[in-house]
């Protein structure tokens, strides 16, 4: 099969190449998916760069070489084969989810990381959903989202933020989105009640206070963010920006320490794509309550360029990658 193979750590255009490799074997609890489309996430460029460096042994792989030689995570496609212990999926089923090695014509995915593809989305649209939407719905839930709350989404025009705005509005929150000048209209269109342009100055100097702040980008310190929280407000950090050696670890530690001395809750969050969350998202999508925002689409051979653009923070929503054309 054809796949985007990573030769080492470095810039996407230097270490990611299209190559012919063996089709993966399928484990007992795995599903072999014929990938129709994928999408690029910040998750991908962190793996490609091997950053934060100190996390390489823990999650990214070895000190010098990546643990997963084929890049990509988000996917949508058709079930080609199932392992002996798999239930609920059969060849020909349309699925979407998350699995290491999705920038390839085939990928073996644990069945617990797949869900039924929304019937009203194309494969390209569906591939834009899994990690972004799951992060949004799990992160907001971790923050105790309730109807009537005031919610601030920092990074509202990104791959997670576009879903977070919609989900928070669906649950009855009053939503304020923070984004760049170019994406103000997009975030309004997604349902935000108020939109703040971060380029116009310090976003934490106003008088507005929020019950929940969902921080999806930037390097804002938790001490700055808590200024706009209510006395019992919650900050959920879910981003990877920061020093190349330790990433956001500094702000994560600061948040934990601050939480010991203030009435607010400041904590980090990492999503876990699972079937239950994907099925919940599918229901929202098919009900017309959630739509993916796609900036642009590339063919598989240009996946390195897609990862590079995500690293630069340029897309509005997601960049999708067509792996095999619709039949």
Question: What CATH number should be reported for the domain holding residue 181?
Answer: 3.40.50.720
Residue 283 domain-assigned (yes or no): no
Is there a contact between 308 and 17 (Cβ–Cβ < 8 Å)? Answer: no
Residue 280 lies in a domain: no
Q: Which of 101, 141, 119, 108 lies closest to 271, judged by CA?
A: 141
For residues 71 and 177, state if they share a domain.
no
- Over residues 77-121, the pLDDT tens digits come to 999 999 999 999 999 999 999 999 999 999 999 999 999 999 999
> How many distinct structural domains can be found in the chain?
2
The whole domain housing 81 covers 2-129+292-322
Which run of H or of E encompasses 167?
Answer: helix 161-170
CB 66 within 8 A of CB 6: yes
**Which residues make Cβ contacts (< 8 Å) with residue 77, sequence separation at least 6?**
33, 34, 35, 36, 37, 94, 95, 96, 123, 323, 324
The pLDDT score that the predictor gives to residue 11 is 92
Residue 246 binned pLDDT confidence (cut-offs 50, 70, 90): very low
Does any domain span residue 72? yes
What pLDDT, on a 0 to 100 scale, did the predictor assign at position 218? 75
Residues 124, 137, single domain; the answer is: no
- Residue-wise pLDDT tens digits, 119-150: 999 999 999 999 999 999 999 999 999 999 99
Q: Are residues 145 and 212 in the same domain?
A: yes
Q: Domain holding 68: CATH number?
A: 3.90.180.10
Question: Contact at 8 Å (CB) between 150 and 173?
Answer: yes
Do 101 and 175 belong to one domain?
no
Is residue 181 a part of any domain in this protein?
yes
Q: Is residue 69 part of a domain?
A: yes
Round to whole Å and give the CA distance between 256 and 252. 6
Q: Are residues 177 and 58 in the same domain?
A: no
Residues 141 and 115 in one domain: no
Is residue 107 assigned to a domain? yes
């Amino acid at each position: 099969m054809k796949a985007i193979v990573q030769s080492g750590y470095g810039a996407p255009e230097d270490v990611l190449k299209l190559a012919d490799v063996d089709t993966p074997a399928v484990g007992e609890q795995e599903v072999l998916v014929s990938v129709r489309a994928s999408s690029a996430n910040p998750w991908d460029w962190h793996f490609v760069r091997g950053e934060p460096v100190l996390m390489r042994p823990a999650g990214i792989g070895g000190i010098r070489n990546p643990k997963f030689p084929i890049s990509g995570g988000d996917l949508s496609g058709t079930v080609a084969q199932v392992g002996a212990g798999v239930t609920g999926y059969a060849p020909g089923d349309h699925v979407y989810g998350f699995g290491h090695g999705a920038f390839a014509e085939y990928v073996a995915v644990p069945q617990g990381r797949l869900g039924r593809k929304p019937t009203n989305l194309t494969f390209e649209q569906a591939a834009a959903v899994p990690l972004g939407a799951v992060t949004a719905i799990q992160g907001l839930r971790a923050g105790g989202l309730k109807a009537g709350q005031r919610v601030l989404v920092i990074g509202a025009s990104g791959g997670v933020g576009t879903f977070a705005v919609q989900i928070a509005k669906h649950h009855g929150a009053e939503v304020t989105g923070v984004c760049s000048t170019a994406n103000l209209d997009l975030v309004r269109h997604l349902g935000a009640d108020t939109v703040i342009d971060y380029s116009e100055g310090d976003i934490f100097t106003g008088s507005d206070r929020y019950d929940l702040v969902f921080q999806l980008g930037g390097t804002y310190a938790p001490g700055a963010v808590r200024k706009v929280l209510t006395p019992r407000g919650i900050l959920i950090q879910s981003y990877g920006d920061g020093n190349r050696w330790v990433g956001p670890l500094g702000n994560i530690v600061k948040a934990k320490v601050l939480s010991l001395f203030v009435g607010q809750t400041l904590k980090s969050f990492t999503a876990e794509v699972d079937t239950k969350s994907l099925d919940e998202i599918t229901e929202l999508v098919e009900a017309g309550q959630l739509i993916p925002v796609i900036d642009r689409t590339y063919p598989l051979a240009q996946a390195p360029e897609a990862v590079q653009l995500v690293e630069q923070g340029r897309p509005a929503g997601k960049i999708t990658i067509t792996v095999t054309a619709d039949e």
